[in-house]
Chains A and B, each alone.
Chain A
């Protein structure tokens, strides 16, 4: 069983604050790391697919970094807005398991 952990489990920040959270995953058999944004009552929305060690990807105010050697990825949100409130999921794709293994998510609440 692959272990994918996300921290913190939940987070409250004020509008305008920048924030970040972590996804840790096994450092062996790495193939890809997916980030999803999941708003209540909606479908999880793909944010990034990270594949190379040292990768950094950006989408508007959201960015992500990847360290496959030590097995972690950070997701950063700059200048958080209330519409950023959602659960952020990471999913590890290994070359051996050939399926996505999800973390339990970080629930972000941005207070106006």
Chain B
């Protein structure tokens, strides 16, 4: 149980275009999902927390107009990188909490990630 998928796994785009990444909880309903970014040799850094039916909460330094997050259903959150530039090239990974597990320790289930390359 607690499987999270992410699509696409890899995307290459031209500078100035927008890219959408999908994160789905396959066998549970996720009221809260998280988006992380990882640069080479660095740790996963939280970008934003996505709550179903409400606006995402962004971490300091993350531009909300550039990284649009939509969590319109209990099983799907999307991250859209708008007007992508080469410096946005990174590994993006999502995670979700399963509310049925009632954990107070912030247990999260991760997708496999998306490698974005902006030319």
Contacts and interface: CB of A to CB of B under 8 A. Distances in A.
Given A32-B105, A51-B105, A93-B105, A102 B43 contact: yes
Contacts of B111: 43
| Interface residue range, chain B | 20 to 34
B112 A41 contact: yes
B107 interface: yes
A36 B107 CA distance: 11
Contacts of A36: 110
A98 B109 contact: no
Interface residues of A, number: 24
Given A93-B106, A99-B49, A102-B36, 16 more contacts: A32-B105, A34-B105, A34-B106, A41-B9, A43-B4, A43-B109, A43-B111, A44-B110, A46-B109, A49-B107, A89-B44, A93-B105, A100-B46, A102-B44, A103-B43, A105-B43
Interface of A: 4, 9, 31-32, 34, 36, 41-44, 46, 49, 51, 89, 91, 93, 98-105
